[in-house]
Structure 1
Amino acid sequence: MMQTHLLLPESDVNAVQIAAGLIKQGEVVGMPTETVYGLAANALDGRAVAKIFHAKGRPQDNPLIVHIADATQLNTLCPAVPPQAARLAEAFWPGPLTLIVPKAACIPEEVCCGLDTVGVRLPAHPLARALIRAAGVPLAAPSANLSGRPSTTTAAHVLRDMDGRIAAVLDGGPCGVGVESTVVTLAQDRPRLLRPGGVTLEQLQGVLGTVELDRALYEKIGDEARVSAPGMKYRHYAPKAPVTVVRGQPQAAAAYIKAHAAPGDGVLCFDEYRDCFSACVVACFGAQADLAAQARAVFDCLRAFDDTAVRQIWAQCPPNDGLGLAVANRIQKAAGFRTVDV
């Protein structure tokens, strides 16, 4: 079994270089970003990328996102950058935005899963960009969790899922955003939001005007569908216990959960309702108006339920405004879109 090393840049000035050396050897390294931790490998080496799929247990038709250290690198990965992609990159890079663009011939099939497009992102986390520069290649990096499980926002989370499966984890501290990047495709007739994230729909509309919404944001799509971005098709972000989302005004949702939850059930709720479920295992993910706190905490809370004996989980859910669209999407994906509207 492979030994997974924890690399601590705060105490080891060579940590980034060690991680980069492992990537140059074709290995996979846990990498911090501002969104969630990723499993990073040389995006131009199909054999290295295949190790990501093996470590995660990831379906082979679920494409990866390529991370770059400088916006100019987009030109090497895309033969003709769409003007709208250039405008979004100028507005939001470095940051939590992935652009789906036509791919260059240098992108191996293992990254794009047979598609003629590739997702590209310039992360804001300084360690991520330092690692990409030190490795000398763009890095393919999906979230650093076992496939289908809640994403990882700390190095400890990565080790819990990946110990013995990857070469090392570069510890960059807790992730600042907490949900994966926004994904927009510019490879169709109109810009389309495929996954909400740290760059909001409203911000995208401020740059592009009209942005279409993919149906995968609101419903489970069929197993036969081909998808151009991660997080669209398969069950994602799910703890071991099944989740039911209760949507509506927070007070009404809390009342519904209180009336229907059995003793010992798990409840994911806003801070204001912490004391409403005395017979349940409660995890609070932020005040109902603090969407940024909810984004940072939602995966931590879902993971925490796996350390309990809960047999089912009830979840409050923010409205689909601003960052709330991303938080609500992750909770509903965790539930497999099992929802109750009150």
Structure 2
Amino acid sequence: METDEAQAAVAQAAEILRVGGLVALPTETVYGLGANALDPAAVARIFQAKQRPSWDPIIVHIAGPALHNPMLDPLVTTFPPVVYELMEKFWPGPLTLLLPRSAAVPDVVTAGRPLVGIRMPAHPVAFEIIRQAGVPIAAPSANVFSHISPTTAAHVLEDLDGKIDAVVDAGPTRHGVESTVLDPTQSPMMIYRPGAITAQQIREVAGPVVCYEEKMLPKAAPPEALPSPGIGMRHYAPRARLIVVEGSLAELPARLVDAARPFAHDRLGVMLPAELARTRFQPPLRGAAEFAWGRWDSPEELAEKLYAGLRALDAEGCTVILCPLPPAEGVGEAIRDRLRKAAYTR
């Protein structure tokens, strides 16, 4: 933001948001589609542009000091004591906190739920746009609902060109997966969506935390009964059919070939760990489109490239994509969550 052009773009984006427009802005996780969170009509435009169902709530983004924030305080009625420890440690950053909402938060933001998800992005461009706008910004991922989340401005335009007012291009995002969503009002605290802030990191700061499991949701529960966005349904999905493959690095070559056998007549793609780049696969996987995913022992690298890889294989015309499931360690848990949801079929 050191150039005059960058500063002008930030100021213009802030003004568009102030007057009720939609701006796709970069965060450290994925690109978000922002609107003034206090303007119900503006937030309704997010749902229209994304084709997002009204029962799926939206996270609100703020800027300013992590504690005693003048943008945050009017949105929340009470703050559990543990929240201050979490904000001091992880804000700005990829942690969303579900907190008791005030009457200032429109129903359209929370889908009528009593809790509102709030986070403070660490990306300097997003932070400055929100600060200059002077209002909290509702911002889900800037893509068509249930499609692959965008990690570049080009990804945003693939889904939303002509449907929004502006895109602020600040290059690829850093983390590549959405924020961790945590409910600190429960005991123990509940992670509804794993992300770049891991359960272990939260435990070290704030005590016991558990992770949501799909079996906790009644089978007959309607969509509006879901306790958090991003659970209980298909998300993050490419156009191609996604097949996830479990196994250690040594086992993956054989397991990928086995997984490919039912799709011998499809255009196959594979998300390929760097360590397998020189593998000579057997038919039917030989000749498949490959995306150089990243190092298997670096879940942060795999997360950063996950959505870009799925989009790249879609763009190559793949009808089936095979993707290994990394170990459930650190941010690997978030990758597994996204891949399982993307592979979900009714």
Counterpart pick for 2:270 among 256, 267, 271: 267
Q: Distance in 1 between matches of 2:4 and 2:340?
A: 37
Kindly indicate whether the alpha-carbon contact (under 8 Å) linking 2:233 and 2:344 is maintained by their aligned counterparts in 1: no
> Paired residue for 2:247?
248
Of residues 129-138 and 184-193 in structure 1, the stretch that sits farther from structure 2 once superposed is: 184-193
Confirm whether residue 294 of structure 1 aligns to residue 292 of structure 2.
no
Q: CA RMSD in A?
A: 2.2
Kindly indicate whether the alpha-carbon contact (under 8 Å) linking 1:195 and 1:217 is maintained by their aligned counterparts in 2: no
**Matched residue of 1:285: which SS?**
strand
Shift of 1:214: 0.6
> Paired residue for 1:4?
none
Shift of 1:217: 9.5
Query: Matched residues, percent identical?
Result: 42
The Cα offsets for residues 148-179 of structure 1, whole Å up to 9 and x where unpaired, read as: 11100111111111110100001122111110
Confirm whether residue 313 of structure 1 aligns to residue 321 of structure 2.
yes
Shift of 1:227: 2.5
> Paired residue for 1:281?
289
Shift of 1:257: 1.1
Q: Distance in 2 between matches of 1:227 and 1:260?
A: 32
> Paired residue for 2:45?
51
The Cα offsets for residues 162-215 of structure 1, whole Å up to 9 and x where unpaired, read as: 110100001122111110000101233320000011101110111122111111
Kindly indicate whether the alpha-carbon contact (under 8 Å) linking 2:22 and 2:164 is maintained by their aligned counterparts in 1: yes
Counterpart pick for 1:21 among 15, 20, 23: 15
The Cα offsets for residues 73-116 of structure 1, whole Å up to 9 and x where unpaired, read as: 33221111111211111111110000001001100001000101
> Paired residue for 1:326?
334
**Matched residue of 2:182: which SS?**
strand
Distance change >3 Å, CA 49–CA 221, structure 1 → 2: farther
> Paired residue for 1:336?
344
Of residues 80-89 and 213-222 in structure 1, the stretch that sits farther from structure 2 once superposed is: 213-222
Q: Distance in 1 between matches of 2:321 and 2:125?
A: 35
The Cα offsets for residues 55-78 of structure 1, whole Å up to 9 and x where unpaired, read as: 000111110000000231332211
**Matched residue of 2:276: which SS?**
helix
Q: Distance in 1 between matches of 2:221 and 2:146?
A: 15
Amino acid at match of 1:255: A
Amino acid at match of 2:331: L
How many residues align? The count is: 332
Q: Distance in 2 between matches of 1:221 and 1:13?
A: 50
Shift of 1:9: 6.9
TM-score by length of 1: 0.92
Q: Distance in 2 between matches of 1:217 and 1:334?
A: 18
> Paired residue for 2:163?
165
Shift of 1:221: 6.8
Q: Distance in 1 between matches of 2:153 and 2:218?
A: 30
Shift of 1:12: 4.3
TM-score by length of 2: 0.91
| Uncovered stretches (5+) of structure 2, i.e. residues with no partner | none
The Cα offsets for residues 15-55 of structure 1, whole Å up to 9 and x where unpaired, read as: 11111111122111001100000000000011100000000
Q: Distance in 1 between matches of 2:163 and 2:38?
A: 21
Of residues 274-283 and 200-209 in structure 1, the stretch that sits farther from structure 2 once superposed is: 274-283
Of residues 18-27 and 134-143 in structure 1, the stretch that sits farther from structure 2 once superposed is: 18-27
| Uncovered stretches (5+) of structure 1, i.e. residues with no partner | 1-6
Amino acid at match of 2:120: L
Q: Distance in 2 between matches of 1:267 and 1:219?
A: 32
Q: Distance in 2 between matches of 1:272 and 1:238?
A: 25
Amino acid at match of 1:252: E
**After the TM superposition, which residues 1-342 of structure 1 pair with which residues of structure 2 at under 5 Å, given as runs?**
11-70=5-64, 71=66, 72=69, 73-216=71-214, 224-225=222-223, 226-261=225-260, 262=264, 264-276=267-279, 277=281, 278-336=286-344
Kindly indicate whether the alpha-carbon contact (under 8 Å) linking 1:238 and 1:334 is maintained by their aligned counterparts in 2: yes
